[in-house]
Amino acid sequence: MHLILSLILVVCLSYEVLAAPSGLLRPVRKSRSFRVERVKRSNYVRDGSTAIRKAYRKYGISASQMDGGGMDDFEPFFGGFGGFGGNGHQSSSTSSSSSDSSTDSDQEGTVTATSVEGGSEFVSPVVIGGQNITLDFDTGSADMWVMNTLLSSSATKGHETYDPEKSSTFQYVNGEFDISYGDSSSAAGYLGQDTVNIGGAIVKNQVFGLPVEVSSEFIEDTSSNGLVGLSFSSLNSFEPGPQKTFFDNIAAELEEPVFTARLRSDGVGEYGFGKIDHSLYTGIMANISIDSSAGFWQFDSTQYAVGSGATREITNVTAAIADTGTTLLLLSPDVVEVYYEAVKGSSYSSSVGGYIYPCSVDLPNLTLGMGSSFKAVVPGSVLEYAEVGTNKTSGETMCYGGVQSCSGSDFQIFGDMFLRSYYVVFDKRGPSLGVATHT
């Protein structure tokens, strides 16, 4: 009797296997997701002219392309716009340790990130060949490069540096890189590859730049030691041809081919890779089509409204990109002009390269169209950037606005001042951008 029952069970199990869809017979690949947490620095100084110089340098916008005019009775706290050099207020950062020893494909890791200049720049510890180096996460570029020991000691003073001789997994790659910006700032050098670990996710043989020459702008910016580009690999500027970004290299191993940004106005937040965490946002997530032909996370932004005012059409620059590597919200000049017309006492100041206003005035909300139908509302309180100087006539303290002009650029730049209002999903499928109010 037991033998008969056993035979019947074997037959039934065989039938289930034969009848199962072929997809169920394939081995199931382990997936992984990981996150990079961000914490607020205690020793930062916000400076609007520094933030806008950095953005203009990145996108090749010169000072001559900006709006003219300014307040004659305004005295900036710091050195003012005056070109693109550093202002000496950056502070060096420290990183937490992580390990390259584990290669378990479903490992989740968490590392800290540090807010510099009160939200103007966010840096995270990245492990390269076992060495901890604090880098920027930048969706506005596709290059990865790092300050290193091939540079002179004077160039690396105050920086964390990567030493290829201390890594057993480092190799040089046949090629070079030469990055130049509109103000003649630059970085140039060799290419190398090594094991890169971000939050426990590991890419072996990740290609990155090893500059042997950097301009003074990068030397003075001791808050960061290079960057991890997270735009599309087609934008990569390495020679003799584009190299894959960290995200493109790791995407196939992730649970979902996405990374997310939850950048909060208090300086605390996180980047996530491999998973859309539905607990981190409320309501319905808008899905915005991305045009990746230029290598950016680019979308249409054709309408806006100031406060409770009527919706208006944007008349100048209607393309936009999402850029975690830019602090400010840089919009079409017509939008910026109308916005500050609604701010009592505001004025453009050439001495600090942007619009300023009395700090006692509350900024209005700003509604921005994204894609075909979504309207993102950015609270005015989020758009208050930093105290910048004093009106010498009235004695009022003046503030630098988080909304400034993208004049001279081919697209509007939705930087951290926008991104920190939303949970944003950068999705390779489509590709698309998911936007929802974060919790």
pLDDT given for residue 153 in this prediction: 95
Hey, which CATH number is domain 279-438, 1.10.10.10, 2.40.360.20, 3.40.50.720, 2.40.70.10? 2.40.70.10
34-51+88-273 and 279-438 share one CATH topology? yes
Tokens 């190299």: give the residue.
Answer: 243
pLDDT given for residue 339 in this prediction: 98
Contact 68, 61 (CB under 8 A): no
Contact 312, 305 (CB under 8 A): yes
pTM score: 0.82
pLDDT given for residue 81 in this prediction: 57
pLDDT given for residue 101 in this prediction: 35
Return d(Cα 259, Cα 271) in angstroms, integer: 7
- Name which of 335, 354, 342, 348 is nearest 411 in CA terms: 335
Contact 141, 321 (CB under 8 A): no
The catalytic position among 221, 323, 416, 427 is: 323
Contact 336, 355 (CB under 8 A): yes
Annotated catalytic residue 138:
yes
Supply angle C-alpha 33, 36, 40, rounded to 5: 160
Return d(Cα 156, Cα 134) in angstroms, integer: 13
User: What beta strand segments (E) does 277-345 contain?
Assistant: 281-289, 298-300, 303-306, 312-313, 319-322, 329-331
- C-alpha Rg value of the chain to the nearest Å: 24
Return d(Cα 134, Cα 95) in angstroms, integer: 6
The catalytic position among 138, 143, 194, 248 is: 138
pLDDT given for residue 149 in this prediction: 98
If you write DSSP's letter for every residue of 383-434 in order, what string do you get? Answer: GEEEEEEEETTT-PEEEEESEEE-TTSSSEEE-HHHHTTEEEEEETTTTEEE
Residues 34-51+88-273: name the CATH superfamily: Acid Proteases (2.40.70.10)
Annotated catalytic residue 100:
no
pLDDT given for residue 180 in this prediction: 78
pLDDT given for residue 9 in this prediction: 42
pLDDT given for residue 430 in this prediction: 92
pLDDT given for residue 155 in this prediction: 95
pLDDT given for residue 181 in this prediction: 67
pLDDT given for residue 439 in this prediction: 87
pLDDT tens by residue, the chain, 439 residues: 544 444 444 444 443 333 333 333 333 334 567 776 654 444 446 778 888 888 888 888 865 445 445 555 778 776 565 543 333 222 223 233 333 333 333 434 333 345 554 444 567 789 999 999 988 889 999 999 999 999 999 999 999 999 999 999 999 999 999 987 655 678 999 999 999 998 888 899 999 999 999 998 888 878 778 989 999 999 999 999 999 999 999 999 999 999 999 887 766 678 888 999 999 999 999 999 999 999 999 999 999 999 999 999 999 999 999 999 898 999 999 999 999 999 999 999 988 999 999 999 999 999 999 999 999 999 999 999 989 999 988 999 999 999 999 988 999 999 999 998 999 999 999 999 999 999 8
Domain edges within the chain: 34-51+88-273, 279-438
